[in-house]
Amino acid sequence: MSKKTLIVIGNGMVGHHFLEQFVASPEAAEYEILVFGEEKQLAYDRVHLSEYFTGSTHADLAMGTADWYTGQGIKLQLNEPVTALERDQRMVTTPKGNYGYDELVLATGSFPFVPPIEGREHPHCFVYRTLDDLDAIRASAQDGKSGVVVGGGLLGLEAANALRSLGLQAHVVEFAPRLMPVQLDTDGGALLRHKIEELGVQVHTEKATTDIVEGENARLRMNFNDGSHLETDLIVFSAGIRPQDALARASGLEVGERGGIVVNDQCTTSDPHIHAIGECALWDQRIFGLVAPGYTMARTLASVLNSDRNAAFTGADMSTKLKLLGVDVGSIGDAHGQTPGARNIRFNDEQAGHYRRMVISADGKTLLGAILVGDNSHYDTLLQYALNGIALPSNPETLILPEGQGGAPTLGPDALPETASICSCHNVTKGDICGVIDAGCSDLAGVKAETKASTGCGGCTALLKNVVDNELEKRGVAVSKDLCEHFPYSRQDLFHLVKVNGIRTFRTLISQHGKGQGCDICKPVVGSILATCWNEHILATDHVPLQDTNDTFMANMQKNGTYSIVPRIPGGEITPDKLIVLGEVAKEYDLYTKITGGQRVDLFGATLSELPEIWEKLIAAGFETGHAYGKSLRTVKSCVGSTWCRYGVQDSVGMAIHLENRYKGLRAPHKVKMAVSGCTRECAEAQSKDFGVIATENGWNLYVCGNGGMRPRHADLFATDLSDEELIRTIDRVVMFYVRTADRLQRTSVWMENLEGGLDYLKKVILEDSLGICAELEEHMNGIADTYQCEWKTAVEDPEKRKRFREFVNLPEQKDPVQQWTTERGQRRPVLESA
C-alpha cells in the first residue's frame, strides 16, 4: 500500500516541534513527510535570537540537525518557499515544482509589521525576526554610531539592547505614551523607562514618524508628527507582528478580519485537510505571539492526526517573564484589571526601582493578574496563584511586599494542585512530575530528561526545582543542601568538619573536602566558621581573601565605594568626652554623622586610606570596633533602667554593657541583636531582638529569636526569673547552638522555625541538656570571650595589615576620582553619576 503524504509549510519553532511530536506517534508510519522552509537555515530557536549577537551561532540555536530529519525519513527542503496552494488538487507549488499532499500543515509563523512610512525602504531600515535580518543589521552597524528602534514593545526593547551590544547609541521610538503598553500600566511603564534610560538607551514616547529622509549628521533622519526629528544611522522596525497567512488567503481559506488563519479546537482550518499551528493560526479570534501556545497547538495537532477525539486546543496563558536590558519585567493574566470589580494592590519603591501590582477578584479570593518591574522573584508564586485559582491568603499584600530574610515568599509546592502547570512550554504539570518520580526518576536532571520541563524558555527552572525537591523529600530521597559548587556540604556539616578535624585554613578545607578555588558564597561562610572555631584575627593573611569587603576593611562599604565607621558604644552609654572625640574626628575628616537605631553613631564617607588613621584616633580615645560590618553581635540596646527610671526594677544598662562586652566579636551565620529593658514597660523593644532581656522583680526574663526588619517577628519567651549567671549561661548556650547549626545567612528566627520541634525542642536542648552538649557550648563561648581582641587595634598596630588600606598601591596620594561630594543639611554627602 502506498503511503499518504503530509506536507508541512514552514520550518520554524512550532513546525519543528510538531514534527518531533508527530514522528513519535503511531500514525507517522502511514505518511511520507515533506517540509518546506523559506529560510535557508534549519529551524532555530527564535526566542533566543538575540544571542546571535553575543556569540551564539546558528548551530547553537538550531532546534535539530539535518541528520535527525534524514533519520526520521523526513524530506526537508530549505530555501524553498511555497508560492501557491491549489486546494482542489491538493497541491502546493514552489519555484522548483509541484507537490501533492493528503494532509497539509501551515506553520508559517508571522512577519514583522512595518508601518507605511515614507522612506521605509531605505537600505538601512531593518526588521528583527530572522538570522538574515540580524546579519544585515550587524553589517549596517559596523560603521554607524546610532540606531533607532521603532516600537517600544517587548521585541523592540530586545532589539534596542541588541543595538547597544553592537556599540550603537540606541533609541526607542514609541507611539503610545509608555513602554510595553500591552503588558504594563502607567507606573510600571514609567519605571521601566527610567531604568532603561539609566542604561543609556534614549526613549521617545508619543512620537509618530511621518517620514524618513537622508540625514545631515547621520545616514537617516526621522521626522515626527509633532515637528521634532531624530537623526540615526539605522532603523529597526519592531511595531508588532502580523500572521503569515498569504497562502491561506489566496487559496480562499477562512482568515480573520485582521489576519490569521482561522482554526478550530483541533487546529484544523475551514478545509478539513489543512491545519494551521503557531503564530499564523487564529483561534477564538486570538493570535498567540509566544512559543508556548504554539507548542501546545503542535501537540494537539499531532494527537488529532492520530485520531485522538479528545485532543483540543483550549487557549493558552499569555503571561510573560523576561529580562529586558537586564531589567526584570513580568506580566501575568489580566494585568490591566479589566475584569469587572477587580481590585488592585500596588507596591511602588522608586528608590529601589521595584514596582509590583496585583489584580484581585472582586471577592478578594483569587489573583487575576499582576505586573512586575525591576524584580521578578515574585513571578513564579503569583503565576501559580493566578493559573490555578488558589485561594489568596488573608493578607495578600505580603505576596508583593519586599522580602525580609529568606527570599520572596513562595507558595509551598505542596499547596499546588496536581493539575498545576509547572512548565508551560512543554505542558508539564505537577502530576506529570510526580508520575515520573514514581516511575523511578530520582533527581532533577532525570525529571528534566523525562518530561522536557524547563528545557524551553527556562522560565520555570526555579519552580521545577522546588517541586522536584519537595516531592523527592516526601519520598525520603535526600536532596542536595550543598553550599555551592565547591562544597557538597551544608554550613552545619562544614562547621563539623572544621571543628572535628582541627582545620584552620580555607585551603586545607577545600583541598580535603571540596573542589576548585571557592567563591563569594563559600569563602565568607568558611571565614565565619574559622573565626568562630579558632577566633584568630580576621586579617591574618590566610583569612583576608575569605572576607566580604566589609569584613576585610572592617567598615561598611557605601554606594560610592567609601566606608562608614561605627565604634562600639556598649549599651548606648557614652561619656561626654568620648562623644566630643567622635565629633572632632568626624569634623576633621568631614564625615557625615548620623545616630543609628542601635544607640550608636555612624560616621560616613571615609576613604579606604583614611580608615586606619581615623581608627588610630578613636582607639586612642578608648573606642573599640563596633563590628557593624560583620555577621556578628551588633548592639545591645537598653533603656535607662532602675538607675534613673522611676519604674525600673533592675539595672538594664549595666546588664546591656555586660552582654555587649561578652558577645562582641563573635562570628555568627548572620547579625545578632540584643536588648535589655529595665521593667515590663519594655522601652528597649527587647522582644524584637534575637535575644531580648526584660527585668522582673526577681531577675530577668529571656526572650529569643525575634527580629525587626521587613518581616518582624516577636521573640518567644524562653525562660523566666533568671539570675545574672543563669541568664548569661542560657544565652551562651543558645548563641553557640545557633552558630554551630544554623545555615548561611539564617537569622535566629528562621533557624528556630526550621529546627524540627521548634521552640520546645530548643528548650529541651538548652534548658534540659537533652543532647548532652551544654557543657561544650559554654566552654566554647568562654574560650571566645577570653580571646577577644579589637580587630582594629590589632590592625593599626601592624604595618603589614595597614598596607591593605592603600587606595592605589602605586600612588598613595591619588584620590579616587569618582568620589564627588555636595553639601546637604550642613553635611557632606556623595554625588554619584549614574553609570
Partner 1 sequence: MKARTCWNAVCTVEDLVPESGIAVWTEDGPVAVFYLPHRLPALFAISHTDPFSGANVLARGITGDLKGEPVVASPLYKQHFNLITGVCLEDDSVRVKTYAVLLDGNRIVLETADKQREAVAA
Residue 307 vs 810, nearer CB to partner 1: 810
Residue 47 vs 649, nearer CB to ligand FAD: 47
- Residue numbers of the site for partner 1 (CB under 8 A)? 54, 161, 164-165, 323, 325-326, 485-486, 516-520, 522-524, 541, 544-550, 552-553, 557, 559-561, 803-804, 806-811, 814, 816-818, 832-835
Judged by CB under 6 A, does residue 387 bind ligand FES?
no
Q: How far is the CB of 13 from ligand FES (least distance, A)?
A: 12
Judged by CB under 6 A, does residue 605 bind ligand FES?
no
Among 21, 319, 424, 528, binds ligand FES (CB under 6 A): 424
Judged by CB under 6 A, does residue 647 bind ligand SF4?
yes
Stretch that binds ligand SF4, among 124-132, 601-609, 646-654, 662-670 (CB under 6 A): 646-654
* The three three-digit cell numbers of residue 206, written as one number: 508619543
Judged by CB under 6 A, does residue 300 bind ligand FES?
no
Q: Which residues contact 49 (CB under 8 A, 6 or more apart)?
A: 61, 128, 129, 130, 131, 134
Q: How far is the CB of 429 from ligand FES (least distance, A)?
A: 12
Closest CA to 11 of 65, 50, 56, 49: 65
Strand order in the sheet with 327-333: 320-324, 327-333, 367-373, 354-360, 343-349
Closest CA to 424 of 384, 467, 382: 384
Chain center to CA of 144: 34
| Residue burial 114-139, b: 16+ Cβ < 10 Å; e: rest | beebebeeeebbbbbbbbebbebbee
Contact in structure between 43 and 142 (CB atoms under 8 Å): no
Instruction: Decide which of ligand FES, ligand SF4, ligand FAD, none touches 682; Cβ closer than 5 to 8 Å per partner kind.
Output: ligand SF4
- Binders of ligand SF4 among residues 667 to 686 (CB under 6 A) are 677-679, 681-683
Contact in structure between 86 and 251 (CB atoms under 8 Å): yes
Give the contact letters, 703-732, x = binds to ligand FES (CB under 6 A), - = no: ------------------------------
Q: CA-CA distance, 255 to 249, in Å (whole number)?
A: 6
Contact in structure between 653 and 643 (CB atoms under 8 Å): yes
Judged by CB under 6 A, does residue 192 bind ligand SF4?
no
Stretch that binds ligand FAD, among 45-53, 190-198, 773-781, 818-826 (CB under 6 A): 45-53
- Binders of ligand FAD among residues 65 to 94 (CB under 6 A) are 81-82
Judged by CB under 6 A, does residue 460 bind ligand FAD?
no
Instruction: Decide which of ligand FAD, ligand FES, partner 1, none touches 547; Cβ closer than 5 to 8 Å per partner kind.
Output: partner 1
Q: How far is the CB of 238 from partner 1 (least distance, A)?
A: 18
Phi (first) and psi of residue 464, to 5 degrees:
-60, -45
Q: What are the Cα distances from residue 728, in Å, to 717, 735, 823? A: 16, 10, 46
DSSP symbol at 227: S
Instruction: Decide which of ligand FES, ligand SF4, partner 1, none touches 832; Cβ closer than 5 to 8 Å per partner kind.
Output: partner 1
Among 230, 425, 668, 742, binds ligand FES (CB under 6 A): 425
Q: CA-CA distance, 753 to 160, in Å (whole number)?
A: 47
Residues shown for the chain: 835
- Binders of ligand FAD among residues 598 to 637 (CB under 6 A) are none
Contact in structure between 179 and 157 (CB atoms under 8 Å): yes
Residue 17 vs 740, nearer CB to ligand FAD: 17
Please provide the DSSP assignment of 297-341 as one string: HHHHHHHHHTT-TT---------EEEEETTEEEEEEESTT--STT
Stretch that binds ligand FES, among 62-70, 216-224, 421-429, 578-586 (CB under 6 A): 421-429
Q: Can you give the binding site for ligand FAD, defined by CB under 6 A?
A: 9-15, 36-39, 46-47, 49-50, 81-82, 107-109, 128-129, 155, 158, 244, 247, 278-279, 289-292, 294, 322, 457
Q: Can you give the binding site for ligand SF4, defined by CB under 6 A?
A: 639-641, 645, 647-648, 652, 677-679, 681-683
